[in-house]
Amino acid sequence: MRIGYLECFSGISGDMLLGGLVDAGVPFALLEETAAALNVGARLEMRRVSRGGLAATKVDVHTPDKAEKGHEHGAHRSLSKILEIIRSAPLPEKIKARSMMAFQLLGEAEAKIHSIPIEKVHFHEIGAVDTIIDIVCAAAGCEQLGVERWLASPLNVGSGTVLCQHGRLPVPAPATLALLGDAPIYSAGEPMERVTPTGAVLLRMLDVRYEPLPPMRVKTSGYGAGGRETPGEPNLLRLIVGEKAEESGAEKSETVAVIETVIDDSTPQLISHVSELLLSNGAYDVYRANVQMKKGRSGVAMTVLCAPDLVPRMRDLLFRETTTIGLRWRIENKVALAREFVSVATQWGAVRIKIARWPDGRIANAAPEFEDCRALATEHTIPLKKVIQAAMQAFTQGADGKETD
């Protein structure tokens, strides 16, 4: 599994993450193209700087707001306007979806802080053009790295006060604190804002888990610089990308949360939509079954499997998006065989094969990746089953001699 680890010993902000991404190998041209696609008149500048004697990359966003008004807060924008800017940009759908989710989270945080409907939220400094650029370019850069799971250290949020639209407030700013939720935080070093609202929402966008640095083989790393030089503690974000190997030849045991609810007054279209939302928000799997309820009513039993720390997110999504008024959940043990991928060549192109092994190394199961096969079938206008058969035949001919049972 490809892991991205963010060491936030001096916090995190949008420009720090962009700098870390470029320093770790993301082409700066990709970020420039992403910024241009948003068509908001902004441009990026990259430069090498030193923070505490360490070389790092600094990425700055130059916007019309800054040029015309001489400060960084920019124009006020409604959530719907920002989402429309992102939605209409010629960018991959996955990047746009991630970016819009980030601004939705920002909107929800602002609405809660000010006790107003989300439709009434008008972003101040966090709605400026440079923040839109930070979030969308970060989504594009992180996608470029191909990371499957993002982890982070505890967050140094800083101390002191920060000047916001509503006056001088203590660090962390209210929006930052709301977005961080139960993330582990502390304060160290010179008083300053070290985790910005943009940095906090980027952590949420990436679905970061806070854990110690896991065993991995490092593939690349980079340092992203903050705007200030801080004596005694480099104002940097360190990004490490590596491969975390699955345990070979052994069963993998872990805990999984099981959430269940029964819905009797919804449509199939809505249930399908909710299932897709749950999966896109991190659920391992979602399945449904028709059930007969009391008083002769037909209903749908929905079961969600997810990591235990995602239960609050799944719970809130089910209550918000469906008509259910109750659910139950529990923690269960899960055991899975070690899995790996190999690539085989067919006459139409490469197909990945997922292999599951018994603890002694024998192959227990092998199957072609459906999306790979479907893409080749569509590209070459051939039956899908023909591609699947060819992929399995190629795998069998090149197998390592350890037969399945």
Distance CA 192, CA 317 (A): 35
Q: Are residues 238 and 291 in the same domain?
A: no
Residue 75's pLDDT band, with cuts at 50, 70 and 90, is low
Residue 362's pLDDT band, with cuts at 50, 70 and 90, is confident
Judge if pTM exceeds 0.75.
no
Residue 72's pLDDT band, with cuts at 50, 70 and 90, is very low
CATH number at residue 306: 3.30.70.1380
Residue 250 is predicted with a pLDDT of 47
Residue 309 is predicted with a pLDDT of 84
Q: Which residues contact 206 (CB under 8 A, 6 or more apart)?
A: 4, 142, 150
Residue 251 is predicted with a pLDDT of 53
User: Which of 6-10, 113-117, 131-135, 249-253 comes out lowest in average pLDDT?
Assistant: 249-253
CA terminus-to-terminus distance, the chain:
27
Q: Are residues 365 and 313 in the same domain?
A: no
Q: What is the pLDDT of residues 212-241, one digit of tens each?
A: 888 889 999 999 999 888 877 899 999 999
Q: What is the mean pLDDT of residues 106-135?
A: 75
Residue 114 is predicted with a pLDDT of 72
Length of the chain: 405
Residue 162 is predicted with a pLDDT of 81
CATH number at residue 378: 3.10.20.300
Q: Are 210 and 154 in contact (CB under 8 A)?
A: yes
* pLDDT exceeds cutoff 50 at 402: no
CA angle 169, 203, 111 (to 5 degrees): 50
Q: What is the pLDDT of residues 45-56, one digit of tens each?
A: 999 999 988 999
Q: Please report whether residue 91 resides in a domain.
A: yes
Of 220, 243, 266, which closes a domain? 243
Instruction: Name 304's bridge partners.
Output: 259, 286
Q: How far is CA 334 from the centre of its chain?
A: 24
Distance CA 369, CA 383 (A): 15
Q: Are residues 91 and 234 in the same domain?
A: yes
* pLDDT exceeds cutoff 60 at 366: yes
SS3 of 133, please? helix
Q: What is the pLDDT of residues 242-289, one digit of tens each?
A: 997 654 444 566 788 999 999 988 888 899 999 999 998 899 999 999
Of 292, 318, 336, which closes a domain? 336
Q: Which amino acid is at 117?
A: P
Q: Which two tokens mark 53?
A: 């004697």
Q: Are 22 and 237 in contact (CB under 8 A)?
A: no
Q: Please report whether residue 404 resides in a domain.
A: no
Distance CA 357, CA 342 (A): 13
State the total domains in the chain.
Answer: 3
Residue 74 is predicted with a pLDDT of 45
Q: How do strand 192-193 and strand 236-243 relate by DSSP bridges? A: unpaired
Distance CA 175, CA 206 (A): 18
Q: Are residues 331 and 343 in the same domain?
A: no
Q: Are 57 and 38 in contact (CB under 8 A)?
A: no
Q: Please report whether residue 402 resides in a domain.
A: no
CB atoms < 10 A from the CB of 255, how many? Answer: 10
Greater confidence, 1 or 57? 57
Q: Are residues 156 and 302 in the same domain?
A: no
Q: What is the pLDDT of residues 23-36, one digit of tens each?
A: 999 999 999 999 99
Q: Are residues 172 and 234 in the same domain?
A: yes
Q: Are 261 and 327 in contact (CB under 8 A)?
A: yes
Q: Are 357 and 249 in contact (CB under 8 A)?
A: yes
Query: By C-alpha distance, which of 244, 63, 236 is closest to 150?
Result: 244
Residue 305 is predicted with a pLDDT of 94
Residue 123 is predicted with a pLDDT of 63
Residue 18 is predicted with a pLDDT of 98
Q: Which amino acid is at 227?
A: G
Q: Which residues contact 395 (CB under 8 A, 6 or more apart)?
A: 342, 344, 353, 366, 368
Question: Which residue range(s) make up the domain with 367?
Answer: 338-397
* pLDDT exceeds cutoff 50 at 211: yes
* pLDDT exceeds cutoff 60 at 65: no
Mean pLDDT of the chain: 87
SS3 of 186, please? strand
Residue 151's pLDDT band, with cuts at 50, 70 and 90, is very high
Per residue, the 3-state secondary structure of 344-361, as one string, reads EEECCEEEEEEEEECCCC
Q: Please report whether residue 197 resides in a domain.
A: yes
Q: What is the pLDDT of residues 292-333, one digit of tens each?
A: 888 888 889 999 999 888 888 999 999 999 989 899 998 888
Of 201, 216, 243, which closes a domain? 243
Q: Please report whether residue 403 resides in a domain.
A: no
SS3 of 230, please? coil
Q: Please report whether residue 134 resides in a domain.
A: yes
Residue 50 is predicted with a pLDDT of 93
DSSP annotation of 361 reads S
